[in-house]
Structure 1
């Protein structure tokens, strides 16, 4: 009996111990589970491809669709005294109104007024020194110096005398006033402004081809500026020259009811010069060429070659403009030398290595050697500025 109780007690203790161990193990597992929970892998769901939704084209609303839209909220009106920020339409209107008011108080000069002012200045300058030099204290050239220069140049390039036969307009070159028609001579000389003889001839021949002949004035006026500009484009400065030619034709027809200036054959040299200078685009050089070659008057025209060479030999002040040089030399050179000296100076200026544009003195030019000793301080002499051909000068043949 005692033995069974002992065995039973031992067995109970064993069971109790086993139960205790099991509880401890379960508790430990539970603790581990709480501290380190297992991560459940999330299943990845396949992504659906993005469907491209076509964009709707915005079409302009019809007048009916626009009427069905709810009315827009009206903008808040500003009082006239309220200030608007810079750049708003109201500010722009205010600035425009202020500019208009300012223009009324100080009006701009119109092209007509500017042309009239230029015409007045040209005529005033010519009238002031029509028969006198603007440099009365400048002694050169003397009549003896003119004869010497004429003799030297004639020996090199041949004598140039005024023809005694009737003048005939050349058909294969533009010339410079070489026409018995004063208006034709004027137009030819305008074509020769600030360009070479070759280019002016190309422009003249092109006019003949387009209009039949260059003196078809009615056809030239009727064709308009663009047609004339295209016709003389090959000669250079066609924009300016076409405008000048058409303006002269219109003024001549308005004054006399026809396209002719032949009445100047019977006018005095001063009257003829004054009338030609009254046209826009005609300066002293252009008018003087028409006077010298067409009207066969004694006038000394000054182009770029004459202006340059007379400066090199000391016949004008160093700072004399081309117009001032014309007035000075026309008063100083004897009439019998004007025609020949003009042609000889132009021809010499084109071929002489020392006297042409950009030429350098080498001591070989007979003309420069003859006048080197007579140069005085303050004269043009060696300090004259070399002028290149083709430069449009403000004081000559302005638009």
Structure 2
């Protein structure tokens, strides 16, 4: 049985990612055009197993699938680049559900760069206090709003090199904005994506930024848009950090189940990796 790394190295990434799609249909949002046409013969029987009539028109079928999967990430709620940027900055170390609730409350009062930049910091802090690090996040989002006004005419830039200059924006946030606001291929890597691809043995890295760099070399560009959405959901619901649900995972037989340890323990052999029990 080939491993996940071997399949992707041999150009068969669809054998790894396609089996996950019916579990998380919202990810079909980012599978379009030629890519969807190419994988549809493989996707179709997987959807049939879920009890859907695949003789129907494809777009209508996918629409119904996505309705049954209402879960959305904080970064993908809006097509508005400003709201996507602010939601994603706020999402750091916070659950998506809470981030969405808090950012919705924030946008009722301050929904533009100009409004947020001019807001009294204590008012912003009061609104976003339910999420962690609210004082630091207030400084970040207001600083980002001011820089948007001062340097980018109040608009969120659509280039990585510009986004990364904004306060509170690192590689993950910048790539989320590119993917979810501008539909620009990029690979946002959070702790879930980082953990999963290391667990698969696809990369051997110690931080998300290095993981991102390697994934951009390994994964075909046509798959970049879907990677973050699909693997975050997979990491939250199946390939969990402590007790992964290997018994329901469609990739169980392909997965080497590598334990990821960023810092080796004392008296432990270099590498710090072993097999994970099912």
Tell me if TM exceeds 0.5.
yes
CA pair 140-255 structure 1, distance change in 2 beyond 3 A: farther
Corresponding residue of 1:31:
none
Does structure 2 retain, via aligned residues, the 8 Å contact 1:174–1:204?
Answer: no
Kept in 2, the 8 Å contact 1:301–1:342? The answer is: yes
Q: 2:250 aligns with which of 366, 378, 388?
A: 366
Distance 1:228 1:143, change over 3 A: farther
Superposed displacement of residue 251, structure 1: 1.6
1:249 aligns with 2:151: no
Q: Is contact 1:174–1:188 with CA below 8 Å preserved after alignment?
A: no
Structure 1: runs of 5 or more not aligned: 1-137, 165-172, 265-271, 373-380, 387-399
- Matched positions, count: 218
After TM superposition, the structure 1 = structure 2 runs for residues 384-395 of structure 1, keeping only pairs within 5 Å, are: 384-385=260-261
Cα distance between partner residues in 2 of 1:163 and 1:139: 23
CA distance in 2, matches of 1:148, 1:245: 40
Question: Which structure 2 residues correspond to residues 142-181 of structure 1 after superposition, within 5 A?
Answer: 142=9, 144-158=11-25, 160-162=28-30, 175-181=74-80
Determine which of 208, 220, 238 is the counterpart of 2:107: 208
Quote the residue 1:193 is aligned against: 92
Residues of 2 paired with 1:306 and 1:290: CA distance?
17
SS at match of 2:185: coil
Measured at CA, do residues 296 and 192 of structure 1 come closer, stay the same or move farther in structure 2, by a change above 3 Å? same
Query: Does residue 316 of structure 1 match 2:197?
Result: no
CA distance in 2, matches of 1:161, 1:367: 22
Structure 1 residue runs of 4+, over 4 Å off?
Answer: 138-141, 360-364
Change in Cα spacing, 1:254 to 1:369, as seen in structure 2 (3 Å) is same
* 1:382 to 2:258 alignment: yes
Partner residue in 2 for 1:231:
127
The question of whether the paired residues in 1 share the 8 Å contact of 2:141 and 2:167 is answered with no
CA 1:359–1:245 in 2, change beyond 3 Å: closer, same or farther?
Answer: same
The answer to whether residue 161 in structure 2 is matched with residue 274 in structure 1 is yes
Question: Given that residues 82 and 113 in structure 2 are in contact (C-alpha distance below 8 angstroms), is that contact kept between their aligned partners in structure 1?
Answer: no
**Partners in 2 of 1:156 and 1:216 — Cα distance?**
36
State the Cα distance separating 1:174 from its structure 2 match.
Answer: 7.5
Change in Cα spacing, 1:360 to 1:239, as seen in structure 2 (3 Å) is same
Over 3 Å counting, the alpha-carbon distance change for 1:243 and 1:143 in structure 2 is farther
Aligned match of 1:259 in 137, 154, 165? 154
Q: What is the CA–CA distance in structure 1 between the aligned matches of 2:91 and 2:246, rounded to whole Å?
A: 31
Q: Counterpart of 1:366 in 2: which secondary structure?
A: coil
* Aligned match of 1:339: 225
Q: Is the 8 A contact 2:192 2:235 kept in 1?
A: yes
Q: Is residue 357 from structure 1 mapped to residue 241 from structure 2 by the alignment?
A: yes
Question: Following the alignment from structure 1 to structure 2, what is the Cα–Cα distance between the partners of residues 174 and 233?
Answer: 20
Whether 1:286 aligns to 2:173 is yes
Larger Rg: 1
Q: Output the CA distance in 2 between the equivalents of 1:254 and 1:308.
A: 38
How does the TM-score come out when normalised to structure 1? Answer: 0.50
Q: Distance in 2 between matches of 1:176 and 1:360?
A: 24
| 2: CA distance, partners of 1:162 / 1:335 | 12
